[in-house]
Amino acid sequence: MKEEEVNTCQIQEWYPKFKSTTIKTVIHELPEPFINYLLDDSGPFVLPLSISDTDALPNRIHRPKEEEDYTILSSDDESEQQPPPPPPSFPDLESKVNESIQTLGGAVFPKLNWSSPKDSAWISPNASLKCTSFSELTLLLKSSDSLVHDLCHAYDSCTDCNTRRPSRFFLALRKWYPTLHPEMEFRVFIRNRVLVGISQREVTGFYPVLMEKKPVLELLIKDFYTKKVSDVFESESYTFDVYVRTDDEVKLIDFNPWCEVTLPLLFTWAELESEGLGEPELRIVESQCGVRPGLKTAVPYDYLDTSEGSGWDQFLRNADEELRRQTRSAGA
């Protein structure tokens, strides 16, 4: 795989060309201090100080009361008594992100150049990637291990690249749709500009409706590739994900490079790279026995810090608020 093939799959590269056929998205370039914050695991998990919390900063730092006895400390003791450093703050980025969230209807799901923080959905009170504020978004990004690939190892599989990371990182805020059906998302495999396979994207469930609609779905997706993608996307071999709406309109979701880092789902890479695969087909889970196991993400031990300002503290607050909201809704 070449560096150029990886770069063409970055959302800031392909989105302008496919804006009319994909989910509405706003993209922001991320400052390097924010990237350093995401990568820093040297201390406790602390969320950035929000703009609205700026006035409360002194209350976050413990200071001796005036009535406490005066004590002479040695240099060693004095260093141990220093208050913790203030939490990081990114007011410009926060302001831009919150404004974009409102522009996109009040809720988004985030991703960086290539990846979204799917592995950290457990920390969200709604167990999804839905974000309504900068603090919720940052919690997901900071909690994600999968984003380390984008930040540090994006070019590991390239044969012509000596760098580990791109020179610039971007945050894509994608409009949140609460009524999407996971069974209607599909991955399409393109080898040497020829469509060689289509797979159900959500392989952890059996959806009988797909058995009925399989012929129609196959035609819709192949037609979408021919008319909307084949002459526009630059790479020779790649994959892309689509969503088929109830009105049969196909929406582009994402692009992925042609390599083992990308999941082949109901295919194998050996099959996809074989010349004898035959007529391209849409593969779906055809019975409960065909369901594939999903990724089980446990709560990391490091996130059990429940002190004020910690990631887990923020999670518990969000979860309590979500529970209260659902209780109010149920009683209405």
pLDDT at 8: 96
Q: Which one-letter amino acid corresponds to residue 7?
A: N
pLDDT at res. 193: 96
Q: What is the pLDDT of residue 173?
A: 98
103, 238: one domain:
no
At 220 the pLDDT is 98
Check residue 58 and give its pLDDT: 39
Q: Are 95 and 51 in contact (CB under 8 A)?
A: yes
Are residues 115 and 238 part of one domain?
no
Total-model pTM: 0.78
Place of tokens 């409102």: 102
User: Domain tally for the chain?
Assistant: 2
Confidence (pLDDT) at 43:
67
Whether residues 228 and 157 share a domain: the answer is no
Using 50 as the pLDDT threshold, list the residues of the chain that sit under it: 54-73, 78, 295-307, 310-312
CA gyration radius, the chain: 23
One domain for residues 18 and 141 = yes
pLDDT recorded at residue 87: 78
Say if residue 317 is exposed, middle or buried (CB neighbours under 10 Å; 0-12, 13-18, 19+).
Answer: exposed
Q: How far apart are CA 85 and CA 175, in angstroms?
A: 35
The DSSP result for 255-303, as a single string, is EEESSTTS--TTS-HHHHT-TT--S--EE---SGGGPPPPP--PPPGGG
Residue 183, both tokens: 């069974």
Report the chain's mean pLDDT, rounded to a whole number: 83
pLDDT at 268: 93
190 shares its domain with 166: no
Same domain, 122 and 161: yes
| pLDDT tens column, 290-313 | 887 764 333 333 333 444 554 445
Residues 205-230: tens digit of each pLDDT: 999 999 999 999 999 999 999 999 99
pLDDT at 321: 64
Name, in order, each residue with C-beta under 8 angstroms of 291's C-beta and a sequence gap of 6 or more.
203, 204, 205, 206, 285
Asked if 107 and 123 count as a contact pair (C-beta separation under 8 A), the reply is no
Picking from 105, 123, 103, 46, the residue whose alpha carbon sits closest to that of residue 322 is: 123
- Domain for residue 324, yes or no? no
Cα 33 from Cα 27, distance rounded (Å): 18
Same domain (yes/no): 122, 220 = no
Domain that holds residue 267: 179-293
pLDDT on residue 177:
93
Q: What is the reported pLDDT for 162?
A: 78
